[in-house]
């Protein structure tokens, strides 16, 4: 679990970051700080893995605050001012997010923080019962039980993985290779470096694409021969 704090004088900025981070199962918010002074007091007594730091704050600016820390946590700058980017990187910040930023962009920044981490696998082995096969995966700080009958396909997402189910989508802090090893080969197939599909959920195959429901999944060049065996056997 990566522990983080948010340092920003705007409540809306806190809400956006917390909403995005709640979708990433390996993150845990420790503290909302609305000034650099509040953050300084908290960090004097507590340790975190990283922080989201705004630059333009009253009394003590974000970068000036960062300079005061002897051993600062890994830092992701969040600001509306791109002209401070060079100074930020000179202070060895992990990434520089220009407001307003997207969920995808935040994920890329968090991936840089977690590159040095080696979290334990959050995927538990498939269990078989008389009715279905299932496994547990950690997402949104909860352990979700996944019924293989509900799993449509899986997409690699940086250091994370998206699991597309019949009724929802989950984000797992697990690489796609872990799911490839876990899932039964007779019912799931890797069709691209970034995709695994449930064979029985395939609606049609056309050209270099597989359609599942209304979603279209690309077929990777190295996987074409494997996919063709589905309809040429």
Going by their DSSP bridges, the two strands 169-172 and 160-165 should be labelled as antiparallel
- 7 found inside a domain: yes
SS (H, E, C) 70-85: CCCCEEEEEECCHHHH
Q: Which domain holds residue 203?
A: 132-232
Name the token pair of 10: 């705007």
Whether 51 and 110 share a structural domain: yes
Whether 10 and 61 share a structural domain: yes
End of a domain among 114, 148, 168?
A: 114
Q: What is the pLDDT of residues 162-220, one digit of tens each?
A: 999 998 998 887 889 889 988 888 899 999 999 999 999 999 999 999 999 999 999 99
Residues 6+ apart with CB under 8 A from 16: 100
- 62 found inside a domain: yes
Mean pLDDT value across the chain: 86
Whether 147 and 68 share a structural domain: no
Residues 6+ apart with CB under 8 A from 173: 24, 25, 26, 114, 119, 122, 138, 159, 160
Whether 41 and 104 share a structural domain: yes
pLDDT at 118: 47
Q: Is residue 120 over pLDDT 70? A: no
Whether 172 and 100 share a structural domain: no
Percentage of residues in the chain having pLDDT higher than 90: 51
Name the token pair of 130: 């008389």
Q: Pick from 24, 77, 23: which is nearest to 50 by CA?
A: 77
CA neighbours within 13 Å on the CB side: how many for 132? 9
pLDDT at 26: 85
Which CATH number covers residue 72? Answer: 3.40.50.2300
Q: What is the pLDDT of residues 89-98, one digit of tens each?
A: 667 888 989 9
Task: Count the domains in the chain.
Answer: 2
- 124 found inside a domain: no
Cα–Cα distance between 106 and 24 in angstroms, integer?
A: 10
Residue 143: which pLDDT band, with cuts at 50, 70 and 90? confident
- 127 found inside a domain: no
* DSSP for 97-153, written as a single string: EESS--HHHHHHHHHHHHTT--PPP-BPPPEE-SS-EEEEEEETTEEEEEEGGGEEE
In the predicted model, what is the mean pLDDT of residues 111-136? 62
In the predicted model, what is the mean pLDDT of residues 69-88? 81
Most confident of 13-17, 125-129, 227-231: 13-17
Cα–Cα distance between 99 and 80 in angstroms, integer?
A: 5
Q: Is 60 helix (H, G, I), strand (E, B) or coil?
A: coil
pLDDT at 131: 41
- 121 found inside a domain: no
C-alpha angle 201-123-24 in degrees, rounded to nearest 5: 90
- 122 found inside a domain: no
Residue 145: which pLDDT band, with cuts at 50, 70 and 90? confident
Cα–Cα distance between 177 and 83 in angstroms, integer?
A: 40
Whether 90 and 31 share a structural domain: yes
Taking the CA atoms of the chain, what radius of gyration do you get in angstroms?
21
- 209 found inside a domain: yes
- 57 found inside a domain: yes
Whether 76 and 38 share a structural domain: yes
Whether 107 and 144 share a structural domain: no
End of a domain among 79, 114, 149?
A: 114
End of a domain among 61, 81, 114?
A: 114
Most confident of 25-29, 105-109, 198-202: 198-202
Whether 177 and 83 share a structural domain: no
Whether 65 and 160 share a structural domain: no
Buried b (16+ CB within 10 A) or exposed e, 149-168: ebbbbbbbbebbbbbbeeee
């Amino acid at each position: 679990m990566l522990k983080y704090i948010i340092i920003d004088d705007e409540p809306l900025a806190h809400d956006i970051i917390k909403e995005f981070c709640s979708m990433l199962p390996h993150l845990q918010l420790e503290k909302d700080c609305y000034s650099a002074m509040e953050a300084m007091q908290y960090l004097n007594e507590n340790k975190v893995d990283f922080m989201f730091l705004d630059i333009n704050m009253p009394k003590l600016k974000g970068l000036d605050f960062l300079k005061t820390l002897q051993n600062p946590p890994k830092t992701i700058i969040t600001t509306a001012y791109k002209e401070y980017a060079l100074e930020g990187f000179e202070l060895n910040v992990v990434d520089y997010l220009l407001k307003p930023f997207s969920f995808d962009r935040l994920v890329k920044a968090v991936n840089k923080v977690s590159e040095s981490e080696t979290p334990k696998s959050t995927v538990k082995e498939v269990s078989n019962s008389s009715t279905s096969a299932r496994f547990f995966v950690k997402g949104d700080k909860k352990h979700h039980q996944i019924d293989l009958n509900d799993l449509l396909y899986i997409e690699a997402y940086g250091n994370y993985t998206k699991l597309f189910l019949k009724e929802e989508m989950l984000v797992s802090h697990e690489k796609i290779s872990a799911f490839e090893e876990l899932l039964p080969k007779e019912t799931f197939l890797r069709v691209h470096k970034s995709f695994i599909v449930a064979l029985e959920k395939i609606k049609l195959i056309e050209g270099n694409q597989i359609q599942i429901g209304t979603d279209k999944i690309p077929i990777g060049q190295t996987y074409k021969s494997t996919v063709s065996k589905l309809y040429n056997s």
